[in-house]
C-alpha cells in the first residue's frame, strides 16, 4: 500500500511554485519511498523552484539518505519570456534572465528540508559526466526537447542501481503534445525497449520503471 507524505509535507508541496499535480506527486513520493530502501541517493533532473524536490527530500530523510537535484536554474525552453509557462517572478531584474535558485532555496527552507538536499547547480550533461556514484532513483523532469531529454537520460540512467527506479515526467503519447511531452515519451519507449527497465506504474504523465537489467 503506497505511503503518502505527512500533511505538512503535502501542504509545502502544494504551496510551492511548479506544475506537478498532487496525484502525480503522490506517485512520485511512493516511488521515492520505495527507492529510498536501497539506502542510496535519490536524484532529480529539473529542479525549477523545488516543488517535487520537497517529496524526494522527505523520502530521503525518512530513509536516512539524501536527495540530489540538478538544474542550471535559468529555466527550460517553455519557461522563457513569451512562452506559456513563463513566470515573471522568477526573472532576476539585474540581469534580465531567469533565476529560480533563490525561490528554490526559500521553498526548502519553508519545508524544513534544507539539510536533506544537495543542489547541483549547472548543466545536467556536465554534472552527469563527472558523476560516479550509483543512485536509487533518477527522476527526469528537465528540458522537453529531444536534445535535452536524451542528454538527461544518457547521462543519468546509467547510474540507476540494480533494483532502483527511473521516473520520467511529462510522458504524453499524443503527437499533439510534441513540444511538452513527446521527447519524454520517446525516452520512456527507449527505456522499455532497452531491456534494462521494466514498467512499474503509470500515473497520468508520470512513468515509474525499475532497473532489471544492464544498459540503457
Active site residues: 144
Residues 91 and 150: their CA atoms lie apart, in Å, by 27
Burial of 193 (0-12, 13-18, 19+ CB in 10 A): exposed
**In this structure, are strands 197-203 and 206-211 parallel, antiparallel, or unpaired?**
antiparallel
CA distance 214 to 173: 26
Alpha-helix runs per DSSP H in 112-213: 124-129, 146-156, 183-194
CA 151 – CA 174 distance, rounded (Å):
22
Q: What is the DSSP letter of 181?
A: I
DSSP label of 182: I
| Radius of gyration, CA atoms only, the chain | 16
Which set of grid coordinates corresponds to residue 15?
504551496
d(CA 78, CA 7): 31
Q: For the chain, what's the residue count?
A: 216
Closest-CA residue to 179 (of 78, 101, 62, 56)? 78
Amino acid at each position: 500500500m503506497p505511503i503518502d507524505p505527512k500533511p505538512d509535507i503535502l501542504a509545502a508541496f502544494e504551496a510551492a511554485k511548479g506544475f506537478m499535480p498532487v496525484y502525480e506527486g503522490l506517485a512520485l513520493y511512493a516511488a521515492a519511498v520505495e527507492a529510498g530502501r536501497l539506502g542510496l541517493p535519490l536524484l532529480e533532473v529539473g529542479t525549477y523552484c523545488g516543488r517535487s524536490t520537497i517529496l524526494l527530500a522527505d523520502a530521503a530523510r525518512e530513509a536516512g539518505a539524501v536527495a540530489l537535484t540538478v538544474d542550471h536554474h535559468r529555466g527550460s525552453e517553455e519557461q522563457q519570456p513569451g512562452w506559456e509557462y513563463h513566470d515573471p517572478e522568477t526573472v532576476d531584474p539585474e540581469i534580465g534572465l531567469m533565476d529560480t535558485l533563490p525561490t528554490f532555496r526559500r521553498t526548502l527552507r519553508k519545508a524544513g528540508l534544507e539539510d536533506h538536499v544537495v543542489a547541483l547547480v549547472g548543466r545536467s550533461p556536465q554534472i552527469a559526466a563527472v558523476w560516479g556514484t550509483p543512485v536509487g532513483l533518477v527522476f527526469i523532469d528537465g528540458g522537453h526537447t529531444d536534445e535535452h531529454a536524451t542528454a538527461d537520460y544518457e547521462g543519468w540512467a546509467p547510474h540507476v542501481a540494480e533494483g532502483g527506479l527511473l521516473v520520467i515526467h511529462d510522458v504524453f503519447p499524443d503527437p499533439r503534445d510534441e513540444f511538452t511531452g513527446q521527447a519524454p515519451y520517446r525516452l520512456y519507449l527507449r527505456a522499455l525497449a532497452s531491456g534494462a527497465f521494466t514498467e512499474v506504474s503509470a500515473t497520468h504523465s508520470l512513468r515509474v520503471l525499475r532497473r532489471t537489467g544492464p544498459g540503457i
